[in-house]
Amino acid sequence: MKGRDVVSLADLTAEEIMQVVATAEHFKMMAKAGMQPRPLVGKTLGMIFHKPSTRTRVSFEVAMAQLGGHALNLTAAELQLRRGETIADTGRVLSRYLDAIMIRTYSHADVVELAQAATIPVINGLTDFSHPCQILGDLLTIKEKRGRLEGIKLAYVGDGNNVAHSLLFGGSKVGMHVVVATPRGYEPDAGVVERASEFARASGGRVEVLADPLQAVAGADVVYTDVWASMGQEAQEEERRRVFGPYQVNGDLMARAGPGSVFMHCLPAHRGQEVTDEVIDGPQSVVWDQAENRLHIQKAILALVIGG
């Protein structure tokens, strides 16, 4: 995977996704044993943030440091982008200084354009359309908790947003049964569902989009949710609270899931809205392991695309 972009999980093969997960497992095992390989000595990652971040910023910066490299934080206010330089020109210039770029922004088209112009790997840290690094970490977590990915039923309950899109892409690629339950009018992008369905047919997986959360979680191995109003949707928050109220993940909903089921959330969580305290703090919750695994996945991605 050396030199590869990670813009969308739709662009990666199932084998590449599993290679990232296996590499992350290796790094995590070594870290727990007190060993730290340093394959990125002398390498520099530029991190562009148009959206604030906790997990993405810290996990990428720590990953680079632990692997022997350096991460350079670049806010929108510090780049010439705010003065009219194109995203493509920025990519061409940064390619002369850096070994890779991670960008967390609103427009997915900007990340695609950046990747096309840059001659170094571009990693999508989040866009309004896609969140591939998050879902790679989620796949690692599911494999740890449930022992496999193929045949696992994951029920995503909530907004058909960037996380839902990447779960559909990633899950369908590795043979999972991914069910999205969301209110009418808030479904994931139809093109994403169509492509994910094609991936599922090839992998032996399955994709469904439903309106009924109870039907979606029935027998699920994993129940997953996200905030009802993402960054940039604050004006819709009151309306979304009303619409998504029946989609709250609470004890009653979790009781409908399969035996040994786990609860996942990409964080940050709005407690009392999309999830109750009894669930996120309960015995089925794996959200903190999920958050930790972002670090191990970032290490894997960086080592594979920069280090080779």
Active-site residue, selected from the candidate residues 138, 159, 177, 266: 266
Active-site residue, selected from the candidate residues 50, 55, 104, 165: 104
Distance, CA of 53 to CA of 108 (rounded, Å): 17
User: Hey, is 160 helix, strand or coil?
Assistant: coil
Give the relative orientation of helices 14-32 and 132-146 as an angle to the nearest 10 degrees: 70
Is 266 among the catalytic positions? yes
Is 294 among the catalytic positions? yes
Is 233 among the catalytic positions? no
Residues 6+ apart with CB under 8 A from 230: 128, 159, 161, 162
- Bond prior to 213 in cis (omega within 30° of 0): no
Active-site residue, selected from the candidate residues 99, 128, 133, 134: 134
Active-site residue, selected from the candidate residues 50, 146, 265, 294: 294
Active-site residue, selected from the candidate residues 50, 55, 108, 131: 131
74 and 91 Cβ atoms separated by less than 8 Å:
no
Is 26 among the catalytic positions? no
81 and 110 Cβ atoms separated by less than 8 Å:
no
Is 236 among the catalytic positions? no
179-192 as b/e: b if 16+ CB within 10 A: bbbbbeebbbbeeb
Active-site residue, selected from the candidate residues 226, 248, 265, 290: 226
Tell me which residues are annotated as active site: 104, 131, 134, 226, 266, 294
